[in-house]
Amino acid sequence: MPDSPVLKPRRSVLYMPGANERALEKAKTLSADALILDLEDAVAPDDKEAARDRVCAAAASGEYGEREITIRVNAIDTEWHDADLRAAAQAGPAAVVVPKVSSAREVQNIERALELSGAPEHTKIWAMLETPSAILHAEEIVSASDRLTVLVMGTNDLAKELHTESAPGRAPLLGALSLALLATRAHGKVILDGVYNDVKDLEGFEAECVQARQFGFDGKTLVHPGQLEPCNRVFSPSEKEVENARKIIDAFEAADKGVVTVDGRMIESLHVDNARRILALAATTASA
């Protein structure tokens, strides 16, 4: 069965370079819901093998508390991919994050390779959508395997492939983000927004978090610890939202009919479903 989008918080998912020992250590104290220990873009070719050993040891260490630990392997067509996948399968992280996935066949090959390498059942596949082909095949990718539980947007690579220029509100990328989100929701899985590169611009970052939440993303991928606080705040239901959700549920249950009004707004059972989703999400993030 696919993961429910509300059972585990994935508000803030922080990348960290696999070769950076200090960052790996620091991550044990950071308020990220999940970590992506990176073997791909953030690691120079000469450091790939040492980073693989370090990251797999970190993932197997059990020293990261409640944070979900995932490993991003190098892309399928690289010389490091097979060894990364075998080592990650044996380390048994929460997920293997696979960059530049472009078809259902690739997901099925990853699934088979994980099984052959003895990956535990709890090691899921998170597929990155960051090519035009991935966006065009988003639905077949997301539904290719029950082991695939999360899609991750790779907006830097996608913008590069599309020749997209930076624009207010990410207008040129909105079509691709929508397609990925539609595919995810059609199959009951989880989707994370891409990263915001300007680590000093927290105002711009927060605005992009708000946009991502309004869109329906479950959380955002991050590149710097300074992005954690605004991200967790924006993706957590506020006190007002929780209060409103309780009001909707109470009013609907008390009325015992198909439609009621709360504060002058029409409420039907679909709004109650949404209110329950908000409360479930609030419960998972209350102590975080």
Ligand X SMILES: CC(C)(COP(=O)(O)OP(=O)(O)OC[C@H]1O[C@@H](n2cnc3c(N)ncnc32)[C@H](O)[C@@H]1OP(=O)(O)O)[C@@H](O)C(=O)NCCC(=O)NCCSC(=O)C[C@H](O)C(=O)O
Q: Which residues bind ligand X (CB under 6 A)?
A: 14-17, 22-23, 26-27, 38, 41-42, 99, 130, 154-157, 194-195, 199, 223-225
With CA atoms as reference, report the closest residue to 197 among 223, 228, 174: 223
CB-nearer residue toward ligand X: 189 or 220: 220
Minimum gap (Å) between residue 193 Cβ and ligand X: 10
CB-nearer residue toward Mg ion: 127 or 248: 127
Which residues ranging from 124 to 143 are in contact with Mg ion (CB under 5 A)?
A: 130
Q: What is the DSSP string of the chain?
A: -PPPTTTS--SEEEEEETT-HHHHHHGGGS--SEEEEESSTTS-GGGHHHHHHHHHHHHHS--STTSEEEEEPPPTTSTTHHHHHHHHHHH--SEEEETT---HHHHHHHHHHHHHTT--TT-EEEEEE-SHHHHHTHHHHHTS-TTEEEEEE-HHHHHHHHTPPP-GGGGGGHHHHHHHHHHHHHTT-EEEE-----TT-HHHHHHHHHHHHHHT-SEEEESSGGGHHHHHHHHSPPHHHHHHHHHHHHHHHHHTSS-EEETTEEE-HHHHHHHHHHHHHHHHHTT-
CB-nearer residue toward Mg ion: 101 or 190: 101
State the binding partner of 85 from ligand X, Mg ion, none, CB within 5 to 8 A by kind: none
State the binding partner of 93 from Mg ion, ligand X, none, CB within 5 to 8 A by kind: none
Q: Can residue 157 be called a binding residue for Mg ion (CB under 5 A)?
A: yes
Minimum gap (Å) between residue 195 Cβ and Mg ion: 9
Minimum gap (Å) between residue 118 Cβ and ligand X: 28
Minimum gap (Å) between residue 208 Cβ and ligand X: 13
For the record, the structure tokens of 161 come out as 């492939």
CB-nearer residue toward ligand X: 223 or 245: 223
Q: Can residue 193 be called a binding residue for Mg ion (CB under 5 A)?
A: no
State the binding partner of 27 from ligand X, Mg ion, none, CB within 5 to 8 A by kind: ligand X
Instruction: Single out the segment in contact with Mg ion by CB under 5 A; choices: 29-37, 43-51, 153-161, 207-215.
Output: 153-161
Partners of 69 in beta bridges:
35
State the binding partner of 14 from Mg ion, ligand X, none, CB within 5 to 8 A by kind: ligand X
Minimum gap (Å) between residue 65 Cβ and Mg ion: 27
CB-nearer residue toward ligand X: 23 or 278: 23
**Interacting residue ranges for Mg ion, rule: CB under 5 A:** 130, 154, 157
